[in-house]
RNA sequence: GGGCGAUUAGCUCAGUUGGCUAGAGCGUCUCGUUUACACCGAGAAGGCCGUAGGUUCAAGUCCUACAUCGCCCACCA
């Protein structure tokens, strides 16, 4: 018996209530689905982990897009009858979160982190994180995301802490984590090391100065950073360079701007004869390349710039900031008549992604992950890497993708990935902040101890540094499933099925998940990676505060409903390309929401005396069903290939312009006619097709379809649409 | 410096292994208040598929150059 539908879908009032219904059903958890007989006990699994948003974050369109995309896929897979699991979680985002709280404390209390001390600061940051955690979680629910909240994980909760410490220890024991004094990217503003991937290059104009250290030094060198030259210990030339051959091996004592230097002339293949004077002043402590040259020639490596980007030398440069020192030196060079030329050049300056500060290369004692070191892998499911064979982390990263164990259907991202692997260097994992996973290393005199728990006995002190936030993120596919315990979840749901990150974090995150999963489990972390693009505004610009073009997804939901927002984000561009977001599109899909609402309303009005039956259809109706099966086929095919946009568009077109505009219109006569049998067949056909259409629309527009589905007079069940079966082809 | 992508209707984009008389949504225009829907319906206009070559029976689709825009990687000091 058909119920009367309200005139319009009131999404503001209904969406939250529908979400609650889903959540209370327990069907976001595949185990509950099995328990209730909705899914077979040994059905195939389909697992996705949510890229964890920062706890302190607020939902933005990027999240909204990611949530829509993954939810569409997970809902589809659930309807296919798989044990579909989507795991929610949040990330502590060490540097970002601490920086935010420090700023707040500075502003409100005028204190810095040292005034508070480690314990107090960590407490305050944790509290702050805890408070804002709920905001983002509520907002994710607003999108309709069908996440299994019973498995919620946070990078700093107990289980994840254990996972991180265990991962560190096992890699340390395997010799893949080491402590080493090397050049790092130092952020003088954030007072911490940052990884290569957190450095952004900015093109700026700079001056290239060419000069000699002193009057009696025979060779001129060029540099854009004269202030580092007080740290020079050598001048390198190409071994074949005729101009300088006679000086190779000679050593000179000079006084450069009050600083005595001992310079050795060396020959090194890495020097370009044609650049500048063909001679390179070697500053081992403040240049990555020079550090490597120093390795080859066993040069001393005096540090002349400190953590605050100030000079560490005596004399007129003493205590000066880098830029001031540069001016001072240039002035001195001019006075002494040593400056041969000054040239404007375009130069890439390394800056910190987080703080914007100019990165200072400094030698520091840091913790590293060795990506090249060979180790014996006890168990491996990665094609091309045998259990018990010798391999390296880099090899794991390469083989996982090249073998197709991790599928990256988008060729261009595969290229970017392998190119990146080729150039990969050791990964610096220590950070000089306080909020995060503290490195599980303890020191006592000359002893070093590594374990998940502190050592027995007195006199030990723990390493001060915390781990790069990506270290814990890299464990995410299996730490969320209970690793290092050998849980049932881990056996059943890992490797995960699908991951859809933004292309921005391909290197930062995807490759490192592959690394960690490969090392600790001998598995790939996921079987398919679909990289997605960025959400941009109508003009193709990034959303940013300074442009004032921000769009708050929650306001869009308030105005047009979550279903319309999801469609607006998913339709119109293929996964992998940037999404241009436009309100008029969202508005269009809100109209579509109303359309399918009214289609259902009209149907119900014409089903007054309808009873579901098994009678064969009139042949004209059967023909319409057959045509519909083609749509099912197309949509299913597109879904399977992750062509979400095409699938949604096909459905949009069918529902509106075929079903509503043609089929329904043409049914009016039959409905009002006297041929009872004809009418029954028509009603039957309409209900069946419309039910299936709602099913297929459900992954895209879960709220309105769920609501409408409950009104349809169907023969079989009245369970939630969310767990109905995908239409058969 | 190296690599990658984009370029199709006014706008945003589809076009899957070459078969296209090139599509959709939005926008525009004309007509229509038929009891599902004006958050609607019927219809229309609008494209040398960036440029130039090439391969092919056939090219928006493959190849080669070029142009414009965009992205990524890279410490030529």
pLDDT at residue number A2: 46
**CB of A44 lies under 7 Å from some atom of strand B:** no
**CB of A538 lies under 7 Å from some atom of strand B:** yes
List phi, psi (to 5°) of A702.
-65, -35
**CB of A418 lies under 7 Å from some atom of strand B:** no
**CB of A268 lies under 7 Å from some atom of strand B:** no
CB of A560 closer than 8 Å to CB of A569: no
| A 549-588, residues with C-beta < 7 Å of strand B | 572-574, 577-580, 582, 584-585, 588
pLDDT in tens, A253-306: 999 999 999 999 999 988 888 888 889 999 999 998 899 899 889 999 999 999
| A 231-260, residues with C-beta < 7 Å of strand B | none
**CB of A343 lies under 7 Å from some atom of strand B:** no
CB of A514 closer than 8 Å to CB of A524: yes
Q: A546 pLDDT exceeds 70? A: no
Nearest nt to A287, CA vs C1'? B75
- Polymer length in residues for chain A: 729
> Separation of CA A238 and C1' B3 in angstroms?
28
Q: How far apart are CA A360 and CA A185, in angstroms?
A: 6
Q: How sure is the predictor about A349, in pLDDT bands with cuts at 50, 70 and 90?
A: confident
Of A82-86, A383-387, A472-476, A713-717, least confident by mean pLDDT is: A713-717
Average pLDDT over residues A419-426: 82
Opening angle at CA A102, ends A98 and A108, nearest 5: 145
| A 50-79, residues with C-beta < 7 Å of strand B | none
* Closest alpha carbon to A553 in A544, A562, A545: A562
CB of A377 closer than 8 Å to CB of A389: yes
Burial (CB count <10 Å: 0-12, 13-18, 19+), residue A657: exposed
> Which residue's alpha carbon is at the shortest distance from the C1' of B38?
A591
**CB of A358 lies under 7 Å from some atom of strand B:** no
More confident residue, A344 or A166: A166
Predicted interface score ipTM higher than 0.90 = yes
pLDDT in tens, A366-392: 999 999 999 999 999 999 999 999 999
CB of A582 closer than 8 Å to CB of A649: no
Q: A1 pLDDT exceeds 50? A: no
pLDDT at residue number A195: 78
Q: A184 pLDDT exceeds 60? A: yes
pLDDT in tens, A297-309: 999 999 999 999 8
Average pLDDT over residues A447-453: 96
pLDDT in tens, A133-183: 999 999 999 999 999 999 999 999 999 999 999 999 999 999 999 999 888
| A 665-684, residues with C-beta < 7 Å of strand B | 665
> Separation of CA A661 and C1' B41 in angstroms?
8
Q: A401 pLDDT exceeds 80? A: yes
* Closest alpha carbon to A139 in A223, A77, A54, A74: A54
Q: 3-state secondary structure string, A283-313?
A: CHHHCHHHHHHHHHHCCCCCCCECCCCEECC
**CB of A276 lies under 7 Å from some atom of strand B:** yes
> Separation of CA A63 and C1' B12 in angstroms?
21
**CB of A657 lies under 7 Å from some atom of strand B:** yes
Average pLDDT over residues A46-67: 90
Task: Give percent of chain A above pLDDT 90.
Answer: 61
> Separation of CA A594 and C1' B47 in angstroms?
33
Q: How sure is the predictor about A577, in pLDDT bands with cuts at 50, 70 and 90?
A: confident
| A 469-498, residues with C-beta < 7 Å of strand B | none
> Separation of CA A312 and C1' B17 in angstroms?
65
> Which residue's alpha carbon is at the shortest distance from the C1' of B24?
A649
> Separation of CA A575 and C1' B64 in angstroms?
29
> Separation of CA A569 and C1' B40 in angstroms?
25
Q: How far apart are CA A687 and CA A156, in angstroms?
A: 50
Chain B footprint positions (protein CB, under 7 Å): 3-6, 11-16, 24-27, 36-37, 39-42, 71-77
Helix, coil or strand: residue A82: coil
Q: Where are the beta strands (DSSP E) in A65-189?
A: 83-87, 89-90, 153-154, 177-187
Average pLDDT over residues A555-559: 92
Average pLDDT over residues A53-71: 89
DSSP states along A475-496: THHHHTTTTTS--HHHHHH-SE
| Other C-beta atoms lying within 10 Å of the C-beta of residue A7 | 10
């Amino acid at each position: 018996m058909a119920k009367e539908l309200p005139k319009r879908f009131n999404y503001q009032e209904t969406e939250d209530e529908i979400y609650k219904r889903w959540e209370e059903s327990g069907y976001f958890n595949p185990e509950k689905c099995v328990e209730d007989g909705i899914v077979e006990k040994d059905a195939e699994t389909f697992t996705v982990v949510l890229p964890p948003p920062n706890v302190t974050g607020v939902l933005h369109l990027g999240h909204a897009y990611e949530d829509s995309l993954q939810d569409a896929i997970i809902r589809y897979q659930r309807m296919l009858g798989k044990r579909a699991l989507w795991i929610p979680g949040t990330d502590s985002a060490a540097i970002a979160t601490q920086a935010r709280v420090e700023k707040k404390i500075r502003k409100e209390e005028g204190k810095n982190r040292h005034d508070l001390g480690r314990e107090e600061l960590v407490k305050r940051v944790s509290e702050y994180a805890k408070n804002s955690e709920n905001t983002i979680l509520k907002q994710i629910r607003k999108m309709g995301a069908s996440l299994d909240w019973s498995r919620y994980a946070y990078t700093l909760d107990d289980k994840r802490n254990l996972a991180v410490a265990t991962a560190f220890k096992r890699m340390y024991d395997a010799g893949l984590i080491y402590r080493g004094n090397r050049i790092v990217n130092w952020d003088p503003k954030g007072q911490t090391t940052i990884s290569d991937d957190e450095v952004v290059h900015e093109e700026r104009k700079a001056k290239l100065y060419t000069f000699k250290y002193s009057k009696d030094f025979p060779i001129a060198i060029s540099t854009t950073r004269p202030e580092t030259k007080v740290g020079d210990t050598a001048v390198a030339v190409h071994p074949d360079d005729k101009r300088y051959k006679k000086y190779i091996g000679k050593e000179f004592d000079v006084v450069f701007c009050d600083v005595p230097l001992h310079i050795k002339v060396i020959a090194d293949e890495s020097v370009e004869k044609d650049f500048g004077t063909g001679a390179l002043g070697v500053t081992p402590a403040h240049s990555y390349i020079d550090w490597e040259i120093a390795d080859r020639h066993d040069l001393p490596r005096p540090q002349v710039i400190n953590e605050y980007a100030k000079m560490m030398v005596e004399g007129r440069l003493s205590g000066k900031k880098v830029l001031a020192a540069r001016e001072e030196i240039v002035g001195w060079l001019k006075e002494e008549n040593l400056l041969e030329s000054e040239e404007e050049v375009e130069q890439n300056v390394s800056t910190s992604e987080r703080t914007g500060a100019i990165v200072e290369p400094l030698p520091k004692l840091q913790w590293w992950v060795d990506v090249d070191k060979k180790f014996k892998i006890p168990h491996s499911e990665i094609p091309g890497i045998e259990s018990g064979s010798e391999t390296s982390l880099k090899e794991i990263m390469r083989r996982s993708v090249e073998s197709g164990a991790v599928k990256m259907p988008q060729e261009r991202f595969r290229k970017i990935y392998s190119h990146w692997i080729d150039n990969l260097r050791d990964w610096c994992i220590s950070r000089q902040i306080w909020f995060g996973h503290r490195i599980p290393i303890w020191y006592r005199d000359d002893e070093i101890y590594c374990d998940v728990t502190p050592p027995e006995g007195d006199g030990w002190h723990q390493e001060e540094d915390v781990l790069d936030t990506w270290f814990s993120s890299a464990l995410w596919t299996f730490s969320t499933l209970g690793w290092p315990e050998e849980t049932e979840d881990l056996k059943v749901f890992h490797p995960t099925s699908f991951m859809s990150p933004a292309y921005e974090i391909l290197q930062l995150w995807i490759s490192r998940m592959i690394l960690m999963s490969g090392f600790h489990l001998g598995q790939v972390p996921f079987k398919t990676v679909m990289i997605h693009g960025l959400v941009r505004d109508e003009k193709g610009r990034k959303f940013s505060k300074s442009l004032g073009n921000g769009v708050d997804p929650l306001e869009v939901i308030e105005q047009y409903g979550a279903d319309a927002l999801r469609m607006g984000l998913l339709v119109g561009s293929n996964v992998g390309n940037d999404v241009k977001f436009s309100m008029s599109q969202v508005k269009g899909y809100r109209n579509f929401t109303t359309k399918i609402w009214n289609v259902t309303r009209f149907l119900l009005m014409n089903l007054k005396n309808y009873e579901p039956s098994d009678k064969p259809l009139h042949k004209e109706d059967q023909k319409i069903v057959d045509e519909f099966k083609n749509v099912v086929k197309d949509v299913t095919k597109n879904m399977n290939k992750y062509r979400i946009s095409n699938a949604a568009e096909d459905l949009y077109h069918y529902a509106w312009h075929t079903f509503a505009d043609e089929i329904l219109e043409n049914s009016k006569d039959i409905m009002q006619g006297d041929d009872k049998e004809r009418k029954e067949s028509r009603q039957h056909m309409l209900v069946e097709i419309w039910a299936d259409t709602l099913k297929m629309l459900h992954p895209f527009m879960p709220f309105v379809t769920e609501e409408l589905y409950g009104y349809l007079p169907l023969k079989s069940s009245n369970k939630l649409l969310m767990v109905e079966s995908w239409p058969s082809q």
